[in-house]
Amino acid sequence: MPTEIRTCLLPLLSQPDEFSGSVAVILDILRASSTIAYALNSGAKSVVPCQEVEEAHLVAEKLKKSEGAQVLLGGERLGVMIEGFDLDNSPARYPAEVVDGKSIVFTTSNGTRALKRAFQAKRILIGSFLNLDALVKELSILDGIICLVCAGTDGSVTGEDCLCAGAIAVELQNLSGQALALDDSTRIVADYYRLQTSKEDGILSAMRASIGGQNLIQRGFETDIQLCSQRGLISAVPEFKQASGEITL
């Protein structure tokens, strides 16, 4: 069982070296981390996160040449598909018939930044409501410190990421026989989750009301909110490997 849970409400609120020795969980619920989990669960070989669009094109070219890999370019800027890309950032666009066996070169604004911030962590896992139960199970058998990293939206704290951080903290506390040390941010998001889930359709309502949810509604991606709030749809826990730069199961 871990000894401590910390929550980083935005990547910039932690210094990179604070992640050393810990297990980081990246949370960009609407939608990067949900989409990554969905794509890998659909049989994608790997997801290769890139900071910039230019970099994504170069990485995709290199992958095609070196491995003859079947490569798709996916991601978003300002919530919509990038020109010349194959897929946007909607998990629904990543079913098995589209992504099975393929490498996805993927760039999003907030999720990728959070991943980079946590680079010094011992392990980096990708979390979402979709794979919440599997993730909590995986975390519960680890030792040491878990850092829940909320990606936020363009530098603002977002409800949907905090809600999922709260869910992880509450579930881990429930599983733990012993007292888990929580920092103040974790206590706050745990109470947010507890209160929201005491209401009917609490997760979905909170996700819809959040900054991320409101942005998606405005851009016509309302159905993604419902998809991303389905708890336990996926039993896979994606992990980013610093050595290869790839996210795999």
Residues at the contact surface with its own copies, assessed by CB under 8 A:
9-10, 12-13, 155-159, 162, 183-185, 187-189, 191-192, 194-196, 206, 209-211
CB of 96 to its own copies, least distance (A): 34
**How far, in Å, CA of 206 to CA of 209, rounded?**
5
Q: Note whether 135 and 148 are within 8 A (CB).
A: no
For helices 184-197 and 202-209, angle between their N-to-C axes, nearest 10 degrees:
120
For its own copies, give the closer residue by CB, 110 or 158. Answer: 158
For its own copies, give the closer residue by CB, 13 or 134. Answer: 13
For its own copies, give the closer residue by CB, 133 or 183. Answer: 183
CB of 208 to its own copies, least distance (A): 12
CB of 192 to its own copies, least distance (A): 4
For its own copies, give the closer residue by CB, 64 or 194. Answer: 194
CB of 165 to its own copies, least distance (A): 10
Q: Which residue has the tokens 């095609």?
A: 64
Q: Note whether 31 and 223 are within 8 A (CB).
A: no
For its own copies, give the closer residue by CB, 96 or 195. Answer: 195
CB of 81 to its own copies, least distance (A): 25
CB of 152 to its own copies, least distance (A): 9
For its own copies, give the closer residue by CB, 143 or 184. Answer: 184
